[in-house]
Amino acid sequence: MSRVVLVTGGSRGIGRATAERFVALGDKVAVTYNTTAPSGDFLAVQCDVTQESHVERAFTEVEEKLGPVEVLVSNAGITKDGLLLRMKEADFVDVVDANLTGAFRVAKRATQSMLRARRGRIILVSSVVGLLGQAGQANYAASKAGLVGFARSLARELGSRNITVNVVAPGPVDTDMTRKLGDDKLKAFADLVPLGRVATPDEIAGAIAFLASADAAYITGAVLPVDGGLGMGH
Ligand code: NAP
């Protein structure tokens, strides 16, 4: 059964691995990118999730070329780290705008056709940091924690229409986002993880694909940790 899947921030990292996973499952896949168009067996559309007009344009293009979105993976995200006293208000606002309000923009737009179809899957990519907190990432943690309340509210609003809304909470993953921290910091993170390593993007993609699968039909409002045990019950 081929579905129309849209992955935001699908140009690299977790989003890219997720798009490739759905392609391998035989789905019709679109990815959004912000700056650099990726190439692959999917439709790539430019969309800055901080711009409502971009979101509208991207969904319209996907609907015209592939059909209404049946599975939405809200994955696009950024970091602008800093300790609280050094964090500029713009760094806080920008991160919340991209990570949390961006998810609101795409989920709201995707829901239009899901309500009509009376089915749909929405998966939001949060982080273990949203559950545990992280010094130097107050803005990022707030945005990722916000996704949990957002998802659970949508799960309640949309459940009667057979639309599930779930959150995946990865621990450290080997992508550009973590590589920019440097090897020493990444190793320090890996040492905190009970499984003793960071995840591959494909390991996160597998959890996302599960939440979009028939086996997850009765799961909604859940937070699925994919963190090597780092959060341990949070
Ligand atoms: P990444 O390699 O830095 O990729 C980020 C993706 O988001 C890129 O496709 C980027 O597009 C896109 N993006 C950024 N800002 C955007 C905007 N304003 N509008 C649209 N797209 C935008 O990051 P990643 O590590 O794969 O992270 C993906 C998600 O997983 C994020 O939400 C992140 O917070 C979360 N996460 C990551 C980790 C980790 O350790 N890596 C852990 C937990 C959660 P361009 O390529 O066009 O810039």
- Per-residue pLDDT band at 1 (split at 50, 70, 90): confident
Q: Write down the pLDDT at residue 71.
A: 98
Q: Write down the pLDDT at residue 47.
A: 97
Residues linked to residue 167 through DSSP beta bridges, in sequence order? 124, 223
Assigned token pair, 98: 């991209």
Which residues' Cβ are closer than 6 Å to ligand 1? 8-9, 11-15, 32-36, 47-50, 75-78, 98, 125, 127, 170, 172-173, 175-178
* Catalytic annotation, pick one of 42, 140, 199, 231: 140
Q: Write down the pLDDT at residue 153.
A: 98
- The percent of residues in the chain predicted with pLDDT above 70, rounded, is 100
Q: Are 114 and 120 in contact (CB under 8 A)?
A: yes
Task: Write down the pTM of the prediction.
Answer: 0.98
Q: Write down the pLDDT at residue 228.
A: 98
pLDDT digits (tens, 9 = 90+) for 139-153: 999 999 999 999 999
Q: Write down the pLDDT at residue 234.
A: 83
pLDDT digits (tens, 9 = 90+) for 152-206: 999 999 999 999 999 999 999 999 999 988 889 889 989 999 999 999 999 999 9
Which bin fits 221, alpha (ψ -120 to 50), beta or left (φ > 0)? left
- Per-residue pLDDT band at 233 (split at 50, 70, 90): confident
Q: Are 171 and 231 in contact (CB under 8 A)?
A: yes
> Catalytic site residue 33?
no
Assigned token pair, 228: 């090597």
Q: Write down the pLDDT at residue 59.
A: 98
Give yes or no for residue 99 having a pLDDT over 90.
yes
pLDDT digits (tens, 9 = 90+) for 4-37: 999 999 999 999 999 999 999 999 999 999 999 9
Mutate to test the pocket of ligand 1, among 39, 75, 180 (most ligand atoms within 8 A of CB): 75
Give me ligand 1 centre to Cα 160, in Å: 31
pLDDT digits (tens, 9 = 90+) for 21-77: 999 999 999 999 999 999 999 999 999 999 999 999 999 999 999 999 999 999 999
Give me ligand 1 centre to Cα 16, in Å: 10
Q: Write down the pLDDT at residue 61.
A: 98
The pLDDT of 212-217, averaged and rounded, is 98
What's the rounded Cα separation, in Å, for the pair 169 and 130?
Answer: 8
Q: Write down the pLDDT at residue 150.
A: 99
The pLDDT mean for the chain works out to: 97
User: DSSP letter string over the chain?
Assistant: ---EEEETT-SSHHHHHHHHHHHHTT-EEEEEESSS---SSSEEEE--TT-HHHHHHHHHHHHHHT-S-SEEEE---------GGG--HHHHHHHHIIIIIHHHHHHHHHHHHHHHHT-EEEEEE--HHHHH--TT-HHHHHHHHHHHHHHHHHHHHHGGGTEEEEEEEE--BSSHHHHTT-HHHHHHHHHHSTTSSPBPHHHHHHHHHHHTSGGGTT--S-EEEESTTSSTT-
The pLDDT of 84-113, averaged and rounded, is 98
Phi and psi at residue 123, in whole multiples of 5°? -125, 125
- Please tell me which residue, 234 or 227, carries the higher pLDDT value: 227
What's the rounded Cα separation, in Å, for the pair 17 and 204?
Answer: 8
